[in-house]
A and B are shown apart, each in its own frame.
Chain A
């Protein structure tokens, strides 16, 4: 195997090409994946990518401020519920910001 092109050049070329075609998961910076990974902890009940198949609220495409406010209300006990007041207390404020930002950036279900 010839390995004549330095890694940095290859990576930059890859990033440039990918950017024109699709959001490149493998080239994302860790903070972007933090939101994605945290949001994935919600998918069991709220659907993959926050698109529910039924019986729970879809989170995809919801404005970040709304999600943060809801989670903080659950966390502080200002909003009642069954599971969510208990789960919301398990996330730090920065984690709530990150997962809310990720859901807000997703396309809302039709």
Chain B
């Protein structure tokens, strides 16, 4: 069967069904009525099962009452959350605590899960090719590819051996577990150093939270040890006052913060970090967060349009400004000012995108008034937490998302109450994306 032209799929299908079917078959296949996805209201392929992609897949099924056919392409067997994963490094949580199954997306919501990696996109034929060679057709493609590391700027870390010794642990999973092992193996009196790339990067406060979690571990178990934060930025990029207070008080004598440390090279054998303008630093555990860009499939799809790194989108739909019918979510997008690259944001992108895609598949315009919120908790200790929050409304004149002045803000101080909210946030957002 030839594919109907853009945006007419559902109407054409309706007419076909009216022609060919009795009322029962018609009801079963109509958008809004169907309970099993047969592609009657359109086919959407989602690439990447993180906070953005998993949420998009679920909400497309939920909001179409199962009438839109949704395939999620994800190479990992399970979802592993980056948020909360710094607590695995601190030792108060395990990797199992931040791991969630994809089963409910399949069983409860009828998402077709393909354990594979997308490697190519043909936007004219509207197909995506997987590493296995399988080709999936789509009416709309949603890429939620996360980040890739720009090892061309740190060539010494290009090899698997180097990456196994100098960890990033910036994609939660085996690297998280490996870094915890390095910290456990480090003798008391050692130095853990983390290098932070120049912004923008995934999860602005994440590196500082990580420093706190490693310091929390040292304070309990290895009190003579040090945490060195070597920041490529001129100052702490998020929650600066709150983190600096924690380092000065909670982790006095353990954490040292050094700004303006742009990493240029690493001696992998001696674990020495080298910088543009600062002195070399030798560590016992060296944790390098390399510079980042949108994940590889974004490049293959031709949707990277900003600085050869990020994907510009129309915030009404999250459709690429360059490639029609291809939408991009999450950390991979070129953010509007004050819009962090966070899992919470990716989840919010996904819902705006899912709502828009359903409208577009039905031949209607997307809502002109999307709203995004961000809520980001950082653990200072194993229980005490600080937050930053913001609300972003679409500005029709500027055609971008604008942070609402007077809304949002920071915690006044760390608290255990916010710690309970942070865990509640995690349980609810994991369920919102995956259950």
Interface residues of A (CB under 8 A from B): 1-5, 7, 10-11, 13-14, 17-18, 21-27, 30, 33-34, 36-38, 40-41, 43-48, 52-56, 82-83, 86-92, 95
Question: Given A1-B16, A22-B65, is A45 in contact with B424 using a C-beta cutoff of 8 Å?
Answer: yes
Q: Does B432 contact A (CB under 8 A)?
A: yes
Q: Is the CB of A43 within 8 A of B432?
A: yes
Give the CA-CA distance A23 to B32 in the complex, in Å: 7
Give the CA-CA distance A36 to B351 in the complex, in Å: 10
Can you spell out 29 A-B residue pairs with CB atoms less than 8 angstroms apart? A4-B15, A5-B15, A5-B19, A17-B23, A17-B33, A23-B32, A25-B64, A25-B65, A26-B10, A26-B32, A26-B358, A27-B31, A41-B372, A43-B351, A44-B347, A44-B425, A44-B428, A44-B432, A56-B421, A82-B415, A82-B421, A83-B375, A86-B389, A86-B408, A87-B407, A89-B391, A90-B373, A91-B391, A95-B371
A19 to B: closest C-beta gap in Å? 9
In the assembled complex, which residues on chain B have CB atoms less than 8 Å from the CB atom of A24?
A: 30-33, 65
Interface residues of B (CB under 8 A from A): 10-12, 14-16, 18-19, 23, 26-27, 30-33, 41, 58-59, 62-65, 67, 344, 347-348, 351-352, 355, 358-359, 362, 364, 367, 369-373, 375, 387, 389-393, 404, 406-409, 411, 415, 417-418, 420-421, 423-425, 427-429, 431-432, 435
In the complex, besides A14-B14, A44-B425, A82-B417, 4 extra interface pairs with C-beta distance below 8 angstroms are A17-B26, A82-B415, A87-B408, A90-B373
B419 to A: closest C-beta gap in Å? 11
Please name the residue on chain A nearest to B425 by beta carbon: A45
B100 to A: closest C-beta gap in Å? 12
Most buried by B among A11, A40, A54: A40
Please name the residue on chain A nearest to B27 by beta carbon: A17
Contact for A90 among B30, B348, B390, CB less than 8 A? B390
Question: Given A44-B348, A90-B407, is A4 in contact with B19 using a C-beta cutoff of 8 Å?
Answer: yes
Q: Is the CB of A40 within 8 A of B59?
A: yes
Please name the residue on chain B nearest to A90 by beta carbon: B391
A88 to B: closest C-beta gap in Å? 8
Most buried by B among A23, A26, A48: A26
In the assembled complex, which residues on chain B have CB atoms less than 8 Å from the CB atom of A17?
A: 23, 26-27, 30, 33
Q: Is the CB of B18 within 8 A of A21?
A: no
B11 to A: closest C-beta gap in Å? 6
B38 to A: closest C-beta gap in Å? 14
Most buried by B among A3, A38, A48: A48
Q: Is the CB of B428 within 8 A of A2?
A: no
In the assembled complex, which residues on chain A have CB atoms less than 8 Å from the CB atom of B358?
A: 25-26
Question: Given A48-B62, A82-B411, A86-B389, is A3 in contact with B15 using a C-beta cutoff of 8 Å?
Answer: yes
Q: Is the CB of B424 within 8 A of A56?
A: yes
Give the CA-CA distance A90 to B339 in the complex, in Å: 14
B126 to A: closest C-beta gap in Å? 19
Please name the residue on chain A nearest to B406 by beta carbon: A89
B380 to A: closest C-beta gap in Å? 15
Q: Is the CB of A56 within 8 A of B428?
A: yes
Give the CA-CA distance A82 to B30 in the complex, in Å: 44
